[in-house]
């Protein structure tokens, strides 16, 4: 064959591939218009947007076609995930704006951040508001940390640092982690981040591919789902129930695992339920993850606040996880914006690359303050004891209200269900703020829990009792 013939062949093939690609896009367009029609029917029949049985059937059909055509299963499923994510987005957009939506925080549903903004506005107008809507401890940072900041500034620790953080901090964090970790880790396994929140985002950014599935047990801190979606992943929810004491069943997790599952999120003790995952369940889920090559994201920012026996993932397995930690809750350092992640070196390297791109590093003097905090064991113990007492006092008072709740085994929140007919927690939270000047977080934000409230127990016992009294007045 001459060169000219080869060029003609290449041209033909390129034309062919262009046609196939544009045909695919036309088919996607057709799929979207069918999806809109489905949305209309679902709205008429008051059906939920997501339906796991229908998804399972589609998945099977795709796998069959994959084997017939030689397309790799994982690739076919990834395309399916992208298509389904787009359908879900379309169908949610088509939902009437007054219908509470499954598992999403939308503008019209009162999220805790919206309540927080409303409460702040009232305060600016001179009103006194009790804040139980955000997870912000009321205790101050330890004294050595406050003093350490001035010292760090005097010592001119005011520069850029390596994106992972200064060696001294990473070594100190590795030492802390090694007190529990069954496999010794080094500073290469650690990255200091601006809060646990950014550590979570970096972790997902580093490990989730487009359409990759992220299993999230709910109720859950909203950022898990939001970050997964933001990086192009597909959240897959495992719903837990108050009737089961918020237990997460490994079988329920296993049911959701597919060829494209890339991450399982564990948050123990949990925000918002206060549930501490049982050792056996943790082990079983870690085994499922290992057997299926899935990364476990272990958010342990409330690990110090465990009031029942608790083991972190690093005490059970020696790899396969990304552990997220924070200085915010244990040390009362929310505004310092400092947290960290521990993971395999390759994952940390990917996280560091993106952190370097996004923000260079966290401020150097904050990193020195964090090193000082690591020695403040008494402050942490006092904070934990205080929150525990507040939980005991608050739960005793909440018992007398028409609420059902599971007493928290850890963390700093209680997540009760309102036992009255037709009460939407978003509406209730708005009324509570307007009439009683108490801000709480509606259940919507944490998953499909429209009749639940999340109450943060980070105020003095007197203030908590005053607030619970006011909640009671409105529930009568």
In three-state secondary structure terms, 404 is: strand
User: Any contact of residue 195 with ligand PLP (CB under 6 A)?
Assistant: yes
Q: Which of 264, 301, 323, 395 binds ligand PLP (CB under 6 A)?
A: 301
Distance CA(196)–CA(341), nearest Å, equals 8
Q: In sequence order, what E strands does 317-416 have? A: 321-326, 339-342, 403-404, 413-414
User: Any contact of residue 271 with ligand PLP (CB under 6 A)?
Assistant: yes
User: Any contact of residue 409 with ligand PLP (CB under 6 A)?
Assistant: no
Pick 87 or 271: Cβ nearer ligand PLP:
271
Which of 53, 58, 109, 108 is CA-nearest to residue 79? Answer: 58
> Binding-site residue total for ligand PLP (CB under 6 A)?
13
User: Any contact of residue 355 with ligand PLP (CB under 6 A)?
Assistant: no
Pick 49 or 352: Cβ nearer ligand PLP:
352
Q: Which of 76, 103, 135, 408 binds ligand PLP (CB under 6 A)?
A: 135
User: Any contact of residue 328 with ligand PLP (CB under 6 A)?
Assistant: yes
User: Any contact of residue 141 with ligand PLP (CB under 6 A)?
Assistant: no
User: Any contact of residue 111 with ligand PLP (CB under 6 A)?
Assistant: no
Q: Evaluate whether 196 touches 325 at the Cβ level (below 8 Å).
A: yes
User: Any contact of residue 274 with ligand PLP (CB under 6 A)?
Assistant: no
Segment contacting ligand PLP by CB under 6 A, of 59-67, 210-218, 326-334, 414-422: 326-334
Which of 447, 416, 448, 457 is CA-nearest to residue 220? Answer: 447
Q: How far is the CB of 40 from ligand PLP (least distance, A)?
A: 37
Q: Which of 221, 246, 331, 452 binds ligand PLP (CB under 6 A)?
A: 221
Pick 195 or 363: Cβ nearer ligand PLP:
195
In three-state secondary structure terms, 340 is: strand
Q: Which residue is nearest to ligand PLP (CB)?
A: 195
Q: Which of 114, 157, 170, 197 binds ligand PLP (CB under 6 A)?
A: 197
CA 61 to chain centre: 31
User: Any contact of residue 408 with ligand PLP (CB under 6 A)?
Assistant: no
The span from the first CA to the last CA of the chain, in angstroms, equals: 89
DSSP string over 264-299? EEEESS-TTT-----HHHHHHHHHHHHHTT-EEEEE
Q: Put the strands of the sheet holding 213-218 in their side by side order.
A: 190-193, 339-342, 321-326, 295-299, 261-267, 213-218, 234-239
Contacts of 141 (CB under 8 A, 6+ apart): 331, 332, 333, 336, 369, 373
Q: Evaluate whether 131 touches 119 at the Cβ level (below 8 Å).
A: yes
User: Any contact of residue 445 with ligand PLP (CB under 6 A)?
Assistant: no
User: Any contact of residue 196 with ligand PLP (CB under 6 A)?
Assistant: yes
Q: Helical H runs in 231-275? A: 250-256
Q: Which of 35, 91, 181, 267 binds ligand PLP (CB under 6 A)?
A: 267
User: Any contact of residue 383 with ligand PLP (CB under 6 A)?
Assistant: no
Q: What region, left, alpha or beta, does residue 156 occupy, with left being phi > 0 and alpha being psi -120 to 50 degrees? A: left
Q: Which of 299, 372, 409, 448 binds ligand PLP (CB under 6 A)?
A: 299
Q: How far is the CB of 307 from ligand PLP (least distance, A)?
A: 17
Using CB under 6 A, list all residues that contact ligand PLP.
Answer: 135, 195-197, 221, 267, 271, 299, 301, 326, 328, 334, 339
């Amino acid at each position: 064959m001459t060169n000219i013939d080869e060029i003609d062949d290449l041209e033909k093939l390129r034309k062919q591939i262009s046609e196939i690609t544009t045909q695919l896009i036309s088919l996607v367009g057709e799929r979207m218009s069918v999806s809109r029609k489905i949305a209309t029917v679902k709205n008429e029949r008051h059906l939920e947007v997501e339906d796991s049985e229908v998804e399972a059937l589609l998945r099977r059909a795709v796998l069959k076609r994959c084997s017939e055509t030689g397309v790799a299963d994982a690739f076919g499923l990834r395309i399916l995930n992208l298509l389904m994510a787009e359908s879900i987005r379309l169908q949610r957009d088509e939902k009437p704006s007054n219908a509470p939506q499954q598992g999403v925080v939308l503008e019209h549903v009162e999220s805790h951040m919206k309540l927080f903004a409303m409460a702040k506005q009232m305060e600016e107008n001179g009103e006194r508001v009790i804040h139980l809507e955000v997870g912000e401890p009321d205790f101050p940072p330890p004294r050595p940390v406050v003093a350490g900041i001035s010292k760090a500034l005097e010592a001119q620790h005011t520069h850029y640092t390596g994106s992972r953080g200064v060696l001294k901090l990473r070594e100190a964090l590795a030492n802390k982690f090694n007190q529990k970790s069954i496999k010794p880790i080094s500073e290469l396994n650690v990255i200091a981040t601006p809060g646990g929140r950014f550590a979570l985002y970096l972790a997902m950014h580093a490990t989730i591919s487009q359409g990759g599935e992220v299993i999230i047990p709910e109720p859950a801190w909203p950022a898990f789902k939001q970050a997964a979606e933001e990086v192009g992943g597909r959240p897959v929810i495992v719903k837990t129930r108050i009737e089961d004491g918020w237990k997460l069943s490994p079988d329920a997790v296993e049911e959701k695992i597919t060829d494209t599952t890339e991450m399982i999120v564990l948050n123990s003790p949990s925000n918002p339920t206060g549930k501490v995952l049982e050792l056996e369940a943790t082990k079983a889920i870690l085994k499922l993850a290992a057997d299926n090559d899935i990364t476990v994201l272990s958010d342990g920012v409330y690990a110090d606040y465990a009031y029942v026996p608790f083991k972190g993932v690093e005490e059970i397995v020696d790899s396969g996880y990304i552990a997220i930690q924070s200085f915010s809750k244990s040390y009362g350092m929310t505004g310092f914006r400092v947290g960290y992640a521990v993971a395999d070196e390759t994952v940390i390297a990917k996280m560091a690359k993106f952190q370097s791109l996004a923000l260079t590093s966290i401020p150097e003097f904050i990193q020195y303050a964090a090193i000082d905090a690591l020695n403040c064991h008494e402050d942490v113990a006092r904070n934990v004891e205080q929150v525990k007492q507040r939980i005991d006092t608050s739960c005793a008072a909440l018992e007398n209200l028409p609420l059902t709740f599971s007493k928290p085994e850890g963390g700093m929140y209680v997540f009760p269900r309102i036992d009255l007919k037709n009460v939407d927690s978003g509406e209730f939270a708005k009324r509570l703020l307007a009439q009683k000047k108490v801000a709480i977080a509606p259940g919507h934000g944490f998953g499909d829990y429209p009749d639940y409230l999340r109450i943060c127990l980070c105020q003095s016992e007197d203030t908590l009792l005053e607030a619970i009294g006011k909640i009671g007045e409105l529930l009568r």
